[in-house]
Amino acid sequence: MVSRSRVRQAPSTSHAGAARRLAALAVLAMPLAACQSDVTGTTSYPNDYRLRHPIALVNGPTDLDLFVGRNAPGLDPRQAQDLRQYVQDYRAHGRGPMMMLVPTSDRQARNHYGVKAVREGLAASGVPSGLVQTTYYQAPAGEIAAPVRLSFTKLQAKVMSQCGNFNQDITGTGATLQGWQNKPYFNAGCAYQTAIAAQVDDPLDLQRPRAEGRADVMRRMKVFDDARKGVDPSTQWKTEAASVSGSVSSNGGE
């Protein structure tokens, strides 16, 4: 009887030990499971900054604010030059009509805000009155200057994401494990892409290359002639080394 009881109790002790071992393994696996969930749940953006912050071609507005006094006879030289450059951009890249937003208030008439001067400047730059559509907006109260705003639509390069997104813990010292992912933070490359979009001469250059221009015939003939004579056809750039002592003496040094 004693032997039977011992035989019956031995399996229960073994199961209890196995259960304790499984519980310990489960406790050790909890941080790993949390780490896996954190990594897969927060890294949905691509590693390539060009995919995180793509540059797209959009039809966007281009504005010019002209601050003209209500009784001004015309535009001042600075604003007249700005208007000529703006019209040049409109004639080269503009799509559709040009909008003129004129400020209005209860105290002053609409035509006292330099509309005539702006229209004369547009006409002098080659924009007919039929391409300019006029609308009005409420002028701000007080002494704040209300400009006459010109606006037209053209093809532009724009970054489609919002820069300045620093909502991630990239140091690894916070409550999350985002700093352990070995991934670039989301905002990396956004300013670079924005600068490229602002500096591109023609947004279509981001879509396809331009056609090749005509070759320099004079340079080509010189290279051919030098090759026939056995002369090096490359251009020889000659630079003169600056003299430090001469520069110091010319600036009044000893």
CATH code, domain with 145: 3.30.1330.60
226 in a structural domain: no
Q: Do 154 and 62 lie in a common domain? A: yes
Q: Do 100 and 172 lie in a common domain? A: no
Res. 205: pLDDT tops 80: yes
Q: Do 139 and 117 lie in a common domain? A: yes
Residues of the chain with pLDDT > 70, as a percent, come to 72
Rounded mean pLDDT, 153-172 = 86
Inter-residue contact 186 to 44 (CB < 8 Å)? no
Q: Do 181 and 110 lie in a common domain? A: no
Res. 3: pLDDT tops 70: no
Q: Do 50 and 61 lie in a common domain? A: no
Burial of 93 (0-12, 13-18, 19+ CB in 10 A): middle
pLDDT value at residue 40: 34
Q: Do 87 and 98 lie in a common domain? A: yes
pLDDT value at residue 39: 35
Rounded mean pLDDT, 122-137 = 90
pTM greater than the 0.75 cutoff: no
pLDDT in tens, 174-193: 677 776 777 888 899 999 99
pLDDT value at residue 38: 37
**What is d(CA 67, CA 119) in angstroms, rounded to the nearest whole number?**
14
pLDDT higher at 161 or 9: 161
pLDDT value at residue 43: 55
Among 31-45, 70-84, 102-116, 236-250, which stretch is predicted with the lowest mean pLDDT?
31-45
pLDDT in tens, 80-101: 999 999 999 999 999 999 999 9
Most confident of 21-25, 172-176, 187-191, 248-252: 187-191
88 in a structural domain: yes
Among 35-44, 126-135, 147-156, 245-254, which stretch is predicted with the lowest mean pLDDT?
35-44
Rounded mean pLDDT, 43-62 = 90
Rounded mean pLDDT, 149-153 = 96
Confidence of residue 30 (pLDDT cuts 50, 70, 90): very low
65 in a structural domain: yes
Q: Do 150 and 172 lie in a common domain? A: no
Q: Do 189 and 152 lie in a common domain? A: no
Q: Which residue has the tokens 């391409």?
A: 131
Burial pattern 64-77, b for ≥16 Cβ within 10 A else e, equals bebebeeeeeebee
Inter-residue contact 178 to 169 (CB < 8 Å)? yes
Q: Do 142 and 168 lie in a common domain? A: no
- Determine the structural domain holding residue 201 and report its residue range: 35-54+164-207
Q: How many independent structural domains does the chain possess?
A: 2
Residues of the chain with pLDDT > 90, as a percent, come to 40
- Tokens representing 24? 């310990």
pLDDT value at residue 94: 93
235 in a structural domain: no
Rounded mean pLDDT, 122-139 = 90
CA dihedral 118, 123, 124, 127 (to 10 degrees): 110
What are all long-range contacts of 202-205, with beta carbons under 8 Å and residues at least 24 apart?
A: 203/57, 203/155, 203/156, 203/157, 204/57, 204/155
pLDDT value at residue 228: 94
130 in a structural domain: yes
Q: Do 102 and 126 lie in a common domain? A: yes
